[in-house]
Structure 1
Amino acid sequence: MVQMDSPVLLQYLDILLKHGNYTKAAKDLYVSQPYLTQTIKKVEKELGIDIINRKTNPLQLTEAGRIYYQYLNSLETQQEQFL
């Protein structure tokens, strides 16, 4: 499974979807654009699916990406309920 902290990844995806491109999202997240791009690609490689549709402008989630995004949201909700 993906080794990145799910709340951080969820934040990255939220900001990426908000801005629709890696450059603006990276600036908002205070990380470099190459780091953000590589992080998302690493997650996609570990999952074996594309979660970002790079053919659209602005960037959007793929169908699999939407399912994964919902999964990350449910993890965060469960963690909050547990605490």
Structure 2
Amino acid sequence: MSNTPGDAQWPMQWSLSGKVNWRASRNTALALTAGSVSIILLIVAIAVNSTNQPTPLIVVALIDAIIIPAYFVAGVLDLRT
């Protein structure tokens, strides 16, 4: 069971004064989180690859870029039930 109603808006950004700048629906908030994590991990994997790091490190970074978004998708699907 979800802690928030399905139509609730989640705060996504706060100003320095502590006021919420903008909100998103639960599913959008989780999707944005998963997407931003994927992009960051992909950038890290590319940066590591360009510095001739060991292949296992690159493989782990790419696997993380798949597993973390899948975890968030599973969370969204679980919250819907």
Please give the TM-score of this superposition, normalised by the length of structure 1.
Answer: 0.31
The answer to which structure has the higher strand fraction is 2
Please give the TM-score of this superposition, normalised by the length of structure 2.
Answer: 0.32
Larger radius of gyration, structure 1 or 2? 2
